[in-house]
A and B are shown apart, each in its own frame.
Chain A
Amino acid sequence: MGLKQNLHKLKEKYKGTKMEPAFNALHTFLYTPNDTTHSGAHVRSADDLKRTMNTVIMALVPCLIFGIFNTGYQHYAAIDNTLRLDPLGNFFTWDNFILGAWTVLPLVIVSYVVGLGVEFIFAIIKKHEVEEGYLVTGMLVPLIVPIDIPLWMLTVAVIFGVVIGKEVFGGTGMNILNPALTIRAFLFFAYPTWMSGDKVWVQGAQAMAGQPDAISGETILGTLAANGHPVYSVWDMFWGFIPGSVGETSTFLILIGGLFLIFTKIGSWRIMLSSVIGAIVMGLIFNGIVDQGWIQEGSKFYGLMSEVWWHQLIIGGLAFGIVYMATDPVTASQTNKGKWIYGFFIGFMAIMIRVFNPAYPEGVMLAILLMNVFAPTIDHYVVRGNIRKRMKRLKVKTA
């Protein structure tokens, strides 16, 4: 008897027991279930939620692999600055990969084990199926944290994020805030010293602090916020040979991932495009302010405000946030018109927060969370437009 029959027998055995959701989660991972249609349409399209989520993960894998190499590269380049002269030649090396994998993979494993653990527990308690939302969240989380974050911290944050960000609302599809960003925001507010500064972006920097061979690495945004001059070229920024959270540095790979999501129709092109437009508009406004001479070189906002508008798109986590997190269908606006407004304000606010928040110079996280909260309001007004039209039709009729 094959695996298929054995699993089918086990499924029947677990039916109605407490462990049913847990078993089904594993079973459906192997085999698409034998469920058939009962009411309504007798045939259904090929897409399900697993396929949808899996597509997002596929779009994230290049960022993960790049992040692993970049972790090693930033570490060794901080020790030996000459490596930066030829980033491409010194990037894809075994040393970089081994060090990176050794640091990044534990983050991935902790994120998935803890997060899915919480999901399974809730599924068993609340007797619903294990939903696939965390497959994406679990991959996003390691990519948006600083590399040296202690694993216990990540564990606490993931539990908080999944329980408070999602399960209390009823699980995937019901949450108001993006779970991955809830986790990130929790870390940011609970452990601020671990989330910013020049010691957290390079593997080993925290551990070696105070020693004679101490290393450090600032993000470009950090440098600009301090009115400094980043040492990285535009191409470094675009390809991603810069310090930052694990997976967010390579604008190039994010662009590829974004195009893949748009092509597969899994990610909303409306949100991505309008976010970029929003960011450009805000960047241009700030550039204009600087050009007008309203902000002088001594101002603490000068560094970020004077940064050329299109550079804003390729530094920091903006691109990553726009492509992978603003497009989360559950927390974004759900109407097509609403998506334009929602996206525009994410880009707009992200750059604004970036410039005006001295403590933490990346705004995309807070911009997305803020717009997550406003998304239902935006939808409400978009839907009301349609309702108004219907009311008007009625009035014309009865008048």
Chain B
Amino acid sequence: MSKDIKIKKGLTINLKGEAEKTLSSAPRSRTFAIRPSNFHLIIPKMVVREGGKVQAGDTIFYSKSNELIKFVSPVSGTLTKIERGAKRVIKEIIIEADPQDTFKDFGVLSPDSSSAEAIKARLLESGCWPFIIQRPYAVIADTEQEPRDIFISALSTAPLANDYDFSLHGKEKELQAAVTALSKLTKGQVHIGVGKSGSSPFKDLRDITLHTISGPHPAGNVGTQINKIAPVNKNEIIWTITPQDLVIIGELLLTGKFNPERIIALSGSEVKTPKYYRTRIGSEAATFLYDSGLKDENVRVISGDVLTGAKISPKGHLGYYSNTVTVIPEGDDYELFGWTRPVFNKISTSRALTFSWLTPNKIYDLDTNTNGEHRAFVVTGNYEEVFPLDMFPMQMLKACMVKDLDAMEALGMYEVAPEDFSLTEFVCVSKQPHQQIIRNGLDLMYKEIG
């Protein structure tokens, strides 16, 4: 079954430094890091102490609020350091890798003949559960509730993002195992969104509902697809998983090993040779950054894409969910009369002496400058141009800012994740932190209602 969805509103941001479609293996990282901040609202309860030995797949910590949700080591080695911040919050768990990996054996589990309970138990014990993000609230899925549907977007429209058609090539077997397993966990369907053109490895899989999606970014965001296919209602839960995480789940089921391999797109204008790297969750970014080379010192390294990723240090580690690393120039410089000069080298959705509308296919080299100061909301109507979800973005943001739970619920807060507001944040004239506002709103709701 296949359905066509066409997204009209949005904005595709063409940036310099698209990853070339060649795959290299990054040198093996000396240390690996797990940052609990990657798992929103999870408070870790450590299982392994400093100095403890772990195999790939061994539980390192579990969630304080639900000990079923386990987080495992991506590699075999020695847990050398638990870095803590203010109030002893765990910031980073560093594991020094063995030269060769040994894997904890979870045993083979055939997705076709296994029961839902067995699959769920396997996902929980093997540390694959955190790959499942639920809506509402955009947090790791609740273990108690069954999802109405499961959504997977295998289309990337974000700037310089990982092209799944390339990075999932040849993984059909793992993907099939994973979607078959997941399809048992819901009474609904496993919806998969793929691009109209291209050869997605999902096209010939069974146990799924395939949708072909076209249009500008955020057509590839799973939130957009959910909104167009079957929006989340109150008291419903849906799950979302990224395709590369499916591969890890699939491999776990087929081989019994937790092998958190990532094929990342290293991209951005500051990368000398942007291309794809085979690496592993939690690896040192330096392993591939310096293999490819950076053009400048004053750069921002982002674990993720430029719209939703997190800033990391060039010496830092790859985030748990990231499958793209982007490096762009820092924009910490002044610009003389920047507010009134005609602009040719930046993107704008207006035409106020900004000329990106003349060259929609031009490739830009944007830096991290905000291009203006933070202001109150003034301009109206410009968010709607890039926001394809059927709701009112500005009213939603304002409801979150004033913590009006009733309004948030009525306006559709259950349907959104911060990433759905990344484009409105990009075009915002008042430079408001939209994703942060939505995150805070979701957290408040989770605390008060969820």
Verify that A and B bind, or say they do not: yes
Task: Enumerate chain A interface residues (CB-CB to B < 8 A).
Answer: 4, 7-8, 24, 28-52, 54-55, 129, 131-133, 170-174, 263-266, 268, 329-330, 332, 334-336, 339, 379, 383, 386-387, 389-391, 393-394, 397
- Contacts A47-B371, A131-B376, A266-B352 known; 19 new A-B pairs at CB < 8 A: A4-B336, A32-B337, A32-B339, A37-B370, A39-B433, A48-B373, A49-B379, A50-B372, A51-B350, A51-B429, A54-B352, A129-B373, A131-B375, A133-B378, A263-B351, A265-B351, A335-B395, A379-B395, A390-B231
Nearest CB of B to A384, in Å: 8
Dominant SS at the B interface? loop
Residues of B within 8 A of A393 (CB): 231, 233
Q: Is the CB of B427 within 8 A of A49?
A: no
How many angstroms between the C-alpha atoms of A51 and B234 in the bound complex? 41
How many angstroms between the C-alpha atoms of A129 and B352 in the bound complex? 23
Residues of A within 8 A of B233 (CB): 390, 393-394, 397
Stretch in B19-27, B251-259, B324-332 touching the partner? B324-332
Residues of B within 8 A of A339 (CB): 381
How many angstroms between the C-alpha atoms of A7 and B336 in the bound complex? 12
Q: Is the CB of A49 within 8 A of B307?
A: no
Q: Is the CB of A36 within 8 A of B373?
A: no
How many angstroms between the C-alpha atoms of A133 and B380 in the bound complex? 14
How many angstroms between the C-alpha atoms of A299 and B326 in the bound complex? 74
Most buried by B among A46, A172, A173: A46
Residues of A within 8 A of B334 (CB): 4, 7-8, 31-34
Question: Which residue of B353, B371, B376 is within 8 Å of A170 (Cβ)?
Answer: B376
Q: Is the CB of B429 within 8 A of A40?
A: no
* 1/0 contact string of B397-436 vs chain A (CB within 8 Å): 0000000000000111000001001110111111101111
Nearest CB of A to B366, in Å: 4
Residues of B within 8 A of A39 (CB): 433, 435-436
Residues of A within 8 A of B412 (CB): 386, 390
Q: Is the CB of A52 within 8 A of B379?
A: yes
Q: Is the CB of B306 within 8 A of A43?
A: yes
How many angstroms between the C-alpha atoms of A171 and B374 in the bound complex? 14
Can you list 19 pairs linking A and B with CB atoms under 8 Å apart? Answer: A36-B331, A37-B370, A40-B418, A40-B422, A41-B306, A41-B307, A43-B306, A44-B371, A44-B426, A45-B426, A48-B372, A49-B375, A51-B340, A170-B376, A263-B351, A266-B352, A334-B380, A339-B381, A393-B233
Question: Which residue of A34, A35, A46, A172 is within 8 Å of B376 (Cβ)?
Answer: A172
- A40-B435, A42-B307, A43-B328 as given contacts; A386 in contact with B379, CB under 8 Å: no
* 1/0 contact string of B376-396 vs chain A (CB within 8 Å): 111111101000001110110
Residues of B within 8 A of A265 (CB): 349-352, 382
Question: Which residue of B332, B349, B366, B371 is within 8 Å of A48 (Cβ)?
Answer: B371
Nearest CB of A to B343, in Å: 5
Residues of A within 8 A of B328 (CB): 42-43
Q: Is the CB of A387 within 8 A of B411?
A: yes
Question: Which residue of A24, A38, A41, A329 is within 8 Å of B422 (Cβ)?
Answer: A41
Q: Is the CB of A47 within 8 A of B427?
A: yes
Nearest A residue to B234 via CB reads: A394
Residues of A within 8 A of B425 (CB): 40-41, 44
Nearest B residue to A129 via CB reads: B373
B80 interfacial by beta-carbon distance below 8 Å: no
Nearest CB of B to A156, in Å: 27
How many angstroms between the C-alpha atoms of A390 and B411 in the bound complex? 8
How many angstroms between the C-alpha atoms of A257 and B328 in the bound complex? 38
Nearest CB of A to B259, in Å: 30
Q: Is the CB of B333 within 8 A of A34?
A: yes
How many angstroms between the C-alpha atoms of A51 and B311 in the bound complex? 28
Nearest CB of B to A103, in Å: 28
- A266-B352, A383-B411, A386-B390 as given contacts; A42 in contact with B380, CB under 8 Å: no
B112 interfacial by beta-carbon distance below 8 Å: no
Nearest CB of A to B416, in Å: 12
How many angstroms between the C-alpha atoms of A50 and B430 in the bound complex? 10
How many angstroms between the C-alpha atoms of A46 and B369 in the bound complex? 9
Nearest CB of B to A172, in Å: 6
* 1/0 contact string of B294-336 vs chain A (CB within 8 Å): 0000001010001111010000000000000010101111111
* 1/0 contact string of B213-243 vs chain A (CB within 8 Å): 0000000000000000001011010000000
B347 interfacial by beta-carbon distance below 8 Å: yes
Q: Top 4 nearest A-B pairs by Cβ distance?
A: A48-B372, A32-B338, A173-B376, A50-B339
B281 interfacial by beta-carbon distance below 8 Å: no
Task: Enumerate chain B interface residues (CB-CB to A < 8 A).
Answer: 13, 15, 159, 231, 233-234, 236, 300, 302, 306-309, 311, 326, 328, 330-340, 343, 346-354, 356, 366-382, 384, 390-392, 394-395, 410-412, 418, 421-423, 425-431, 433-436
Q: Is the CB of B378 within 8 A of A173?
A: yes
Q: Is the CB of B370 within 8 A of A266?
A: no
Nearest CB of B to A391, in Å: 8
- A48-B429, A394-B233 as given contacts; A42 in contact with B302, CB under 8 Å: yes
Residues of A within 8 A of B351 (CB): 263-265
How many angstroms between the C-alpha atoms of A31 and B334 in the bound complex? 6
Nearest B residue to A266 via CB reads: B352
Nearest B residue to A171 via CB reads: B376
Q: Is the CB of B411 within 8 A of A52?
A: no
Most buried by B among A36, A45, A172: A45
Q: Is the CB of B375 within 8 A of A173?
A: yes
How many angstroms between the C-alpha atoms of A264 and B371 in the bound complex? 18
How many angstroms between the C-alpha atoms of A8 and B429 in the bound complex? 24
How many angstroms between the C-alpha atoms of A266 and B429 in the bound complex? 11
Residues of A within 8 A of B421 (CB): 40
How many angstroms between the C-alpha atoms of A54 and B435 in the bound complex? 28
Question: Which residue of B367, B379, B395, B436 is within 8 Å of A43 (Cβ)?
Answer: B367
Nearest CB of A to B268, in Å: 10
How many angstroms between the C-alpha atoms of A52 and B378 in the bound complex? 10
Question: Which residue of B339, B346, B378 is within 8 Å of A45 (Cβ)?
Answer: B346
How many angstroms between the C-alpha atoms of A174 and B334 in the bound complex? 29
How many angstroms between the C-alpha atoms of A329 and B422 in the bound complex? 22
Residues of B within 8 A of A174 (CB): 376
Nearest B residue to A27 via CB reads: B334
How many angstroms between the C-alpha atoms of A44 and B424 in the bound complex? 10
Nearest B residue to A261 via CB reads: B352
Residues of B within 8 A of A379 (CB): 395
- A34-B332, A386-B391 as given contacts; A44 in contact with B428, CB under 8 Å: yes
Question: Which residue of A51, A131, A268 is within 8 Å of B381 (Cβ)?
Answer: A268
How many angstroms between the C-alpha atoms of A336 and B385 in the bound complex? 11
Question: Which residue of A170, A172, A383 is within 8 Å of B378 (Cβ)?
Answer: A172
Q: Is the CB of B352 within 8 A of A32?
A: no
- A39-B436, A265-B350, A383-B392 as given contacts; A32 in contact with B375, CB under 8 Å: no
Question: Which residue of B306, B350, B430 is within 8 Å of A266 (Cβ)?
Answer: B350
Residues of B within 8 A of A40 (CB): 307-308, 418, 421-422, 425, 433-436
